[in-house]
Structure 1
Amino acid sequence: MFRSNFKPGSTRWAVRRAQWRSMGIREEDMHKPKIAIINTSNKLSCCYVHLDELCRIVEQAIRDAGGLPFEVRTVAPSDFVTSAGKKARYLMPTRDLMVNEVECMMEGAVLDGMICLSSCDKTTPAHLMSAARLNVPSLLLTCGYQVGGKCSNEKFDDQFFDIDDVYEQVGALATGAISEKDLTDMTDVAIQSPGVCAGLGTANSMHIVAEALGMTLPGNSPIWANGRKVKEYAQAAGKRIVELTQAQLLPRSIITEKAIQNAVMTVLAVGGSVNTVRHLSAIATEAELPVDVIGLYEKYGKDIKLLTSVRPNGPYRTEDLEAAGGTTAVMNQLRDFLNLDALTVTGNAVGDNIAHASVKNNEVIRTLNNPVSQRPGVAILRGNLAPDGAIVKLSAVPGELEQFTGPANIYEGEDEAIEALSQGNIHKGDVIVLRNMGPAGGPGTVFACSFVAALNGAGIAEHVAVITDGELSGLNRGIIVGQLMPEAAAGGPLAVVKPGETVQINFVDLSINMDVPQEIIEQRLQAWQPKPIELGGGSGSYLSQYAQLVQPIAQGAVLGKRRIHTKQVE
């Protein structure tokens, strides 16, 4: 019944049996479904330190349900730790490295199913991409968020801080608004538990996406990483993956065009991370779905309004969203728009999963008739600076600003921009252009989000716009437009905008343009040449390989895939 049950007497059967018998695996266990627990645990980051405990719970649940579990480790990046080297160039490439590692371990060993312990920003999309690519019975366990704490010193009187506050206050330090001791004191209290960054950054947003796609058990997001509830989900998920494997319910029956649509609508309603666009595009690509994900954000943005105001979009915290009913409650508010017949890992349809979900706090999760904003959380801008689209988190734009116009102030990296900020060379009214930082230009997508956070810490984020093809954080807030497509290194118009030229961003008609005639832009692009990138490590380094293989960001910046035809969204 299971593909892992090799023919007795064959070479593969004999050598594997010898290995497993030496490990204490019993004869009767060798005929059971063999389940990989994809464990991204490591001791580099608090995002992952609790996963070993959850792995043991999942492992026992798989055994109790009649399966044979095998823990499999993979690479696991943390946006705030493995961003330190080469200006964060390893972060995006590690997502795809993880997908390839899962493929090697699952297909090389010919295992029957997998349960993925998903935590920080890149692991959840990588696990969804892996499930879509391999199409073996799969289930995600999203492993929860962290909480912050209170700080008391000469400046702060029991003021609450989390990692988002720490991130932004670097800018306050750069401008002299706080001292190094103040920042140090914040770091001592900002993280009080394991789990991913508080707020609707990319990690929590992708946890919500995983549930909206139907690839987690209902109610798995958001969830506190250090509580009883996440352990109960670990036990339930371990049992369910065995049932999925026995029933041969496959990911491509779940990750369908309808599921992608549901995920997009849910992101729009919660004001999720701008990075969900690229990750959902990558998931669709791996599932070989002819879906224009960017077009879906544009289509559903006309009807889906912002229903939550969770940081960085507003005052509420992730724990407030969980207490108010979480993803299932948000989706129930959207039921008139969702594809309620979409299949999920429960074996039931979305409509069945959310039927009894209720909103427990009507201020944290609003109705479509009483939204936080008439605008969606995320929107796509187009214009002569981004003919293939650019992404803005409308829910994080201050004061529902309608437009911003200013002169271009150009930097090739955020370190240079942060230095300019500290020297007083960035002024109110500027449009800061951070370019040649995309998947191909980095390569690997260079951090732009620390500069954006620094603007907030410096207190001028409401008066300065940032446009970039670099890596933004879902925690960023302000007048920020990211993922300009095509990216500068691929010959996008961002590459030829000049210092002082006027940039116009309109959040009502969703446009982004430079005040330069189209024929002049085309002349500049014809004369443009990409800049050589010096990465070190030789031509065989992973970043060098990535630079040769990475595909356009509109396709999810996956590796080595040919473009697939996409249907136009009506």
Structure 2
Amino acid sequence: MTERRRPLRSNFPRGSYLWSVRNAHWRALGIPEADCEKPKIAVVNSSSELAACFSHLDRVAQVLKDAIRAAGGVPFEIRTAAPSDFITGAGARGAYMLAARDLVTNDIEVAVEGAQLDGMVCLTSCDKTVPGQLMAAARLNIPTLMVPCGYQPSGEWQGRHVDIEDVFIGAMHAVTGKLPVDDLVGMSREAIRGPGVCSGMGTANSMHIVCEALGMALPGSAPVAALGDKMMADVRAAGTRIVHMVWDDLKPRDILVPGAFANAVRAVLAVGGSLNCAKHLQAVATEGDCGVDVYGLFDQLGPTTPVLAGVRPVGEQTIEAFEAAGGCRALMKQLAPLLDLGAPTVTGATVADNLRHAEVADAEVIRPIGRPVSTHPAIVLLRGNLAPESGLIKAGIGERKVRRFTGPALCFWSSDEAIAALRDGRIQPGQVVVMRGAGVRGGPAMGGGASRVVFAIDGAGLGDQVALLTDGHLSGLVCKGLVVAEVAPEAALGGPLGLVRDGDLVTIDLDERLLAVDLSDAELQQRRDSWQAPPPQYDRGWLQQYRRMVGPLPKGAVMVRSEAPVEPGG
């Protein structure tokens, strides 16, 4: 057992009420009385049988608990919500997806803070569980380690690689008649051949990389093949390390310094990662009172951060090749001249210390700064009279045929309306499709299926001829066409996107970082004066609570601390 070096908050005077009732419960669970004095570690397990993303976590949790016990700690497994976009997105037009992120955070708070446990190890998996766990770490501020739990193996269909991204795209191509349904069925049978998250550089793998770049995961742990020898070795190392972190009182807010967020933003930009990382990182900063403007970092660091790796869907490399080349650790080695090397990490050492012996196994997959895949920013933050706060576009890594687009708006309040218009031939080359009412309050929770519209437009052969704007979010796998997401303020709160009418001329300019409509301030104000909020969706249950209490996107769309409930438009 590790020598005790400080009082633990989980311990109470022997014979007191709390000591006695806890001892009674724990003895019934087979925990010896002597163990009541050891560090008590939460094993945060977002396990679920609904999706492949989470199906392996119970096996991982067992290995982790054994490692914690061997290191002198007492593990307590706790469960959280486990949202998967492809499964949980079926209900309420996708509104449960982002809303579940904050539910994960609150699940952890109730179990860990209520029991006054000393530390936690979070088994990270699909898109929303990773930021939800990071948010809880920042909020509770007890020693915490993130453990990336791996990507799924993909398959083949008719002699070609197929993964879940191909199925997603294929489904919308089938809607437009571009892909036979039988081919889509065949692809869906072969796309996923084991547990783990989507195998491309979508939100899950991007956020796993964020965990390591932030300093909240062990060096070299992301990305990783689910249940492989490397991953299980990392799990055991995490079980040992968390006990030492508890004794050393090394907490998340010691690690989540401004330089750590800058490092994470650089890493996302350097792999052309998911747009969703911006709001998730901002949510972590907000929960931890870190005083960091993550959107500002994307705006500031984007032009000076080259893309060093192009992993599907932003490039042609596979996630397996990226891992074999050294993964996040090798990426940070290449990025070192641009990083805050003094930022602390969960190892107790700095980024510089952790990178000292790092190697890049394949400099074609993870390139040096002097020979990047692309010098154009992979993610561009736009502003203008349509996006006074922000709008995000995944610019990709190649030379875009179109970097400036001006066209008449065609407006919709739902993805179903937009797809119906596409089928009817009402969406034509040169138009700007405006899909609104899909923000955190109007969606609510950014439900609404903007990604479906993007892939349907692509399936109709209009991907390079039509632009799309939305106040909703996009799947991390989306990297097609000229698409601006998360336009803020959102339409349901009277943002300018809600004032646009069919035929208004809209301009998107990547080089000027501009998103604007050809209307004067006076014309916009005149429309705003007569604007009426759309009726709020969902008047009961969790979605009502989320809609009424979620904060603005530039603050990470987290649940507000103390504010009178406000309906959209109120």
Tell me which interval the TM-score lies in, with the shorter structure as reference length: over 0.9
1:103 maps onto 2:109 in alignment? yes
1:436–1:442 contact (8 Å) kept in structure 2:
yes
Tell me the equivalent position of 1:155.
none
**How do residues 270-289 of structure 1 correspond to structure 2 at under 5 angstroms?**
270-289=271-290
Residue 398 of structure 1 and its aligned partner are, at CA, apart by 6.9
What residue identity is the alignment partner of 2:84? S
2:438–2:444 contact (8 Å) kept in structure 1:
yes
SS at match of 1:219: coil
What residue identity is the alignment partner of 1:542? W
Tell me the equivalent position of 1:361.
362
Where in structure 2 are there 5+ consecutive unaligned residues?
Answer: 1-6, 564-570
**How do residues 42-53 of structure 1 correspond to structure 2 at under 5 angstroms?**
42-53=48-59
Tell me which moved more, 337-346 or 427-436: 427-436
Partner Cα distance (1:456, 1:210) in 2? 32
RMSD: 1.4
1:305–1:376 contact (8 Å) kept in structure 2:
yes
1:342–1:350 contact (8 Å) kept in structure 2:
yes
**How do residues 500-539 of structure 1 correspond to structure 2 at under 5 angstroms?**
500-535=503-538, 538-539=539-540
1:321 maps onto 2:322 in alignment? yes
**How do residues 47-446 of structure 1 correspond to structure 2 at under 5 angstroms?**
47-152=53-158, 158-395=159-396, 399=400, 401-446=402-447
Paired residues, number? 555
Partner Cα distance (1:534, 1:252) in 2? 36
1:550 maps onto 2:550 in alignment? yes
Q: Residue by residue, what CA displacement relative to the aligned partner does 1:30-77 show, whole Å, maximum 9, x if unpaired?
A: 111000000001100000001111100000000000000010011110
Partner Cα distance (1:426, 1:146) in 2? 36
Partner Cα distance (1:374, 1:316) in 2? 18
Residue 400 of structure 1 and its aligned partner are, at CA, apart by 5.7
Residue 397 of structure 1 and its aligned partner are, at CA, apart by 7.5
Residue 128 of structure 1 and its aligned partner are, at CA, apart by 0.7
2:374–2:398 contact (8 Å) kept in structure 1:
no
What residue identity is the alignment partner of 1:279? H
1:489–1:530 contact (8 Å) kept in structure 2:
yes
Residue 147 of structure 1 and its aligned partner are, at CA, apart by 2.4
Residue 260 of structure 1 and its aligned partner are, at CA, apart by 0.7
Partner Cα distance (2:55, 2:13) in 1? 40
Tell me the equivalent position of 1:566.
none
Tell me the equivalent position of 2:493.
490
1:398–1:462 contact (8 Å) kept in structure 2:
no
Partner Cα distance (1:429, 1:227) in 2? 48
1:169–1:454 contact (8 Å) kept in structure 2:
no
Residue 192 of structure 1 and its aligned partner are, at CA, apart by 1.2
Which among 4, 14, 38 is matched to residue 8 of structure 1? 14
SS at match of 2:150: coil
1:146–1:197 contact (8 Å) kept in structure 2:
yes
What residue identity is the alignment partner of 1:203? A
Which among 452, 469, 473 is matched to residue 471 of structure 2? 469
Q: Residue by residue, what CA displacement relative to the aligned partner does 1:455-509 show, whole Å, maximum 9, x if unpaired?
A: 2333321222111011211110121111101111121100000011111100111
1:452–1:477 contact (8 Å) kept in structure 2:
no
**Change in 2 beyond 3 A, CA 1:400/1:39:** farther
Q: Residue by residue, what CA displacement relative to the aligned partner does 1:13-43 show, whole Å, maximum 9, x if unpaired?
A: 1111111111111112111100000000110
2:176–2:456 contact (8 Å) kept in structure 1:
no
1:275–1:474 contact (8 Å) kept in structure 2:
yes
Q: Residue by residue, what CA displacement relative to the aligned partner does 1:405-433 show, whole Å, maximum 9, x if unpaired?
A: 21111111112222222332222222111
Partner Cα distance (1:162, 1:460) in 2? 23
Q: Residue by residue, what CA displacement relative to the aligned partner does 1:261-289 show, whole Å, maximum 9, x if unpaired?
A: 11111111111111111011101001101
Partner Cα distance (1:490, 1:372) in 2? 40
Partner Cα distance (2:457, 2:352) in 1? 43
Residue 106 of structure 1 and its aligned partner are, at CA, apart by 0.6
1:41–1:52 contact (8 Å) kept in structure 2:
yes
**Change in 2 beyond 3 A, CA 1:362/1:457:** farther
What residue identity is the alignment partner of 1:22? A
Partner Cα distance (2:208, 2:12) in 1? 36
Tell me the equivalent position of 1:567.
none
What residue identity is the alignment partner of 2:536? I
1:213–1:255 contact (8 Å) kept in structure 2:
yes
What residue identity is the alignment partner of 2:474? L
Partner Cα distance (1:285, 1:212) in 2? 18
Tell me which moved more, 166-175 or 86-95: 166-175
Tell me which moved more, 309-318 or 388-397: 388-397
Q: Residue by residue, what CA displacement relative to the aligned partner does 1:382-407 show, whole Å, maximum 9, x if unpaired?
A: 11100111111112687363211211
Partner Cα distance (1:175, 1:90) in 2? 27
SS at match of 1:95: helix
Partner Cα distance (2:398, 2:442) in 1? 27
Tell me the equivalent position of 2:3.
none
1:170–1:457 contact (8 Å) kept in structure 2:
no
Partner Cα distance (2:389, 2:215) in 1? 29
Tell me the equivalent position of 1:561.
561
Residue 295 of structure 1 and its aligned partner are, at CA, apart by 1.0
What residue identity is the alignment partner of 1:241? I
What residue identity is the alignment partner of 1:516? L
1:132–1:283 contact (8 Å) kept in structure 2:
yes
Partner Cα distance (1:74, 1:141) in 2? 16
Shift >3 Å, 4+ stretches: none
Which among 28, 37, 53 is matched to residue 34 of structure 2? 28
**Normalization by structure 1: what TM-score?**
0.95
SS at match of 1:114: strand
Partner Cα distance (2:460, 2:51) in 1? 27
SS at match of 1:167: helix
SS at match of 1:133: helix
Partner Cα distance (1:323, 1:59) in 2? 28
- State the identity as a percent: 47
Partner Cα distance (1:216, 1:455) in 2? 38
Partner Cα distance (2:457, 2:171) in 1? 9
Partner Cα distance (1:562, 1:253) in 2? 26
Where in structure 1 are there 5+ consecutive unaligned residues?
Answer: 153-157, 564-570
Partner Cα distance (2:198, 2:486) in 1? 22
1:306–1:395 contact (8 Å) kept in structure 2:
no
SS at match of 1:80: helix
SS at match of 1:508: coil
Partner Cα distance (2:35, 2:535) in 1? 55
Residue 562 of structure 1 and its aligned partner are, at CA, apart by 6.4
1:406–1:430 contact (8 Å) kept in structure 2:
yes
**Normalization by structure 2: what TM-score?**
0.95
Partner Cα distance (1:561, 1:52) in 2? 33
1:306–1:374 contact (8 Å) kept in structure 2:
yes
